[in-house]
Every structure is written in structure tokens, then in C-alpha cells.
Amino acid sequence: MRHLPIVIAAALACALPAVAQTPAPPKPAAAPAPAARPTLLSVKDVMRRIVNPAAETYWAHSGVVDDEKGSNDRAPTTQAQWDISINSAAQLAEAGNLLMMEGRARDPNGPWMKYAQALNSAGIAGMAAATAKDHDKTFDAGSAIYDSCFNCHGRYIPRPKDSLYKHDIDKDLKDAGKAPK
Ligand code: HEC
């Protein structure tokens, strides 16, 4: 931080028009800083009770599944069904924030935040797609929602050493701007 040389500062002060000295009006009391709210549910319960049901609902209203009767397009056909999609996507969008709260974020300086933000934006994309009743975009948002789950689980749910599933932890760290461990 650089300071003005005193001479210049004094000259500037002199250049100000003289004002009558009236007492300053009392300042309104500063609003108290919001207290950090304690988290109520564990990550596991947020998953079980909020994230998973919302994601299942969203997926059940998007995409095409093939069954024995042939191709079955699950995209909504009524406003009430589109509203269900919008609502579940909204829950996912905010759930990303729940995962970033202090006390819940497992790794506040690492890729955890990136994955939680991916859930935020996938949820927002899901809301926009369902609001626009856009079939393809609803499907794309469903994939983005899925990717956010998959990536975070790959990194943060421990697996047995002989698991066939491999996750590139070094790449995650690099993406998050961290040195590989
Ligand atoms: C930012 C990280 C993150 C994201 C994003 C995420 N999860 Fe999870 N999830 C976890 C962690 C960590 C666990 C393990 C929690 C534990 O056992 O304590 C978990 C566990 C779960 C479980 C198991 C809960 C149980 O009963 O044991 C389900 C189901 C689940 N997640 C669903 C999802 C779905 C669906 C999505 C995407 C829509 C998702 N998760 C996105 C981190 C994440």
C-alpha cells in the first residue's frame, strides 16, 4: 500500500472547501455479522435425504430408457411434471452449497469445492432446461449432475486397494491449483 507524500496530502486537504463544523449524524448501528450456522446433518444424511432423492427424481424425468416395450422417453409431458424436474434441480443446485459449508466440506482447500460447485451449476442448468421444457438440455443437465456425483465420490469415498476403479487424484489436485501429493 503506497501512501501519498505528506505535502501532497496536505495540499489536497487545503483544496477542499471549508465546511461548517456540524456534528456528524449518529451512524446507524452496524448490522451484526451473521453467525456461522452449525450444520445439522452429516454429509451422509445430506446425500441420503436431499441429494440422492432429488437426483433420482430429476433422472426419472429425463432421458430415454429402453425396456422390453421399446424406447421409453421419460421427459415430462405436462407442466406438473416439468415442475417436478425444476424443483429437484433446484434442490441439487442449493445442495452444492450445503456441501461447501464449514463443518461439511471435507477438504475446503482441495477439489471438494470444485465438485460441489459442479453440482451447483449442473442443478442450475437443470432448472433452466426444465423451465424451457428443452428435452435435450434436460438430458445434458442430467449427465452433468451425474458427473458431479461420480467425480466427487471417486475422489472422496475410500475404496479398497484392489478396486478396479482408478481415479486420477494428481489431476484433481492440479485442476484445483494444488501441488500433487
Ligand atoms: C462434493 C462431493 C460430493 C458430491 C458432489 C456428491 N456426493 Fe454423494 N457422497 C459424498 C461423500 C463424501 C459420501 C460418503 C459419505 C459418508 O459415508 O460419510 C457420499 C455418499 C453418497 C451416498 C451414500 C449415502 C449412504 O447412505 O451411505 C449416496 C447415495 C450419494 N452420495 C449420492 C450422490 C448423488 C446422487 C450425487 C449427485 C447428484 C452425489 N452424491 C454428489 C460426496 C459427494
Here the contacts of 93-98 (C-beta below 8 Å, separation 24 or greater) are 93/119, 93/120, 93/121, 93/122, 93/123, 93/124, 93/126, 93/127, 94/120, 94/123, 95/46, 95/50, 95/51, 95/54, 95/119, 95/123, 96/120, 96/121, 96/123, 96/148, 98/39, 98/46, 98/50
120 occurs within a structural domain: yes
- Residue 47 Cα to ligand 1 midpoint, Å, equals 5
pLDDT in tens, 30-67: 777 777 778 999 999 999 999 999 999 999 999 888 88
Other residues' Cβ atoms within 10 Å of the Cβ of residue 25: 6
pLDDT in tens, 76-98: 999 999 999 999 999 999 999 99
Whether 148 has a pLDDT exceeding 90, the answer reads yes
Whether 152 has a pLDDT exceeding 60, the answer reads yes
pLDDT value of residue 96: 97
- Mutation pick for ligand 1 pocket among 47, 104, 106, 151 (CB with most ligand atoms within 8 Å): 47
Whether 174 has a pLDDT exceeding 50, the answer reads yes
100 occurs within a structural domain: yes
15 occurs within a structural domain: no
- Mutation pick for ligand 1 pocket among 42, 88, 101, 153 (CB with most ligand atoms within 8 Å): 153
Contact 93, 124 (CB under 8 A): yes
38 occurs within a structural domain: no
31 CB less than 6 Å from ligand 1? no
61 occurs within a structural domain: yes
Containing structural domain, residue 61: 43-175
122 CB less than 6 Å from ligand 1? no
pLDDT value of residue 10: 44
44 CB less than 6 Å from ligand 1? yes
pLDDT value of residue 1: 44
108 occurs within a structural domain: yes
Whether 73 has a pLDDT exceeding 80, the answer reads yes
- Mutation pick for ligand 1 pocket among 49, 51, 159 (CB with most ligand atoms within 8 Å): 51
Buried b (16+ CB within 10 A) or exposed e, 62-87: bbeeeeeeeeeebbbeeeebbebbbe
Give the number of domains in the chain.
Answer: 1
